[in-house]
Amino acid sequence: MRQAGPNHYSPMTLADLDEVVAIEVRAYPFPWTRQNFADSLDAGHHGVCLRAVDGTLLGYFLLMPVVDESHLLNVCVAPEMQGNGLGVQLLQEVVRVSRALGMGGVLLEVRPSNMRALRIYERFGFEQIGRRKGYYPASGRREDAIVMRLSWETDRAVA
């Protein structure tokens, strides 16, 4: 367990998934399922939970190491806790974990309609490197994904 101010990080386990999914369904119109999370953990992906002192789950992320960079599969802050800097704290932990794994950067996809996340990623130093057409499900259609990358050379938020 690692401290994050008054909060702390811990590895995500199968025992956390009921709480994780409860946040996921409140946060996203097309949430991951419990099985999606379980499959990621079973595959050896790095899941991390951010908890308050009282144990309340505040947010989480799943990171998949791929060759020389990490792919951020999912990152989420509980909707009622958004706007308090927890997203940046989670990204700082993503970078810390990625560096500890010897990775040279982080790759992610984000919906173009998710302006809040796009602004956070851009301020953090992520740069757009591509677009995946029709990547995400959307109401009656598909939505593209903006592909973003943070390399340690462009990392402005965490030295």
Catalytic residue among 9, 24, 69, 121: 121
- Please say whether the beta carbons of 118 and 145 come within 8 A: no
CA distance 80 to 75: 15
To the query of whether residue 136 is one of the catalytic residues in this protein, the response is no
The rounded Cα 82 to chain-centroid distance in angstroms is: 14
State the residue for tokens 């851009």: 122
- For residue 74, say whether it is annotated as part of any ligand binding site: no
To the query of whether residue 19 is one of the catalytic residues in this protein, the response is no
Catalytic residue among 19, 28, 109, 143: 109
CA distance 20 to 53: 17
Nearest to 87 by CA among 112, 56, 54, 124: 124
Residues serving a catalytic function are 109, 121
The binding site for acetyl-CoA consists of: 114
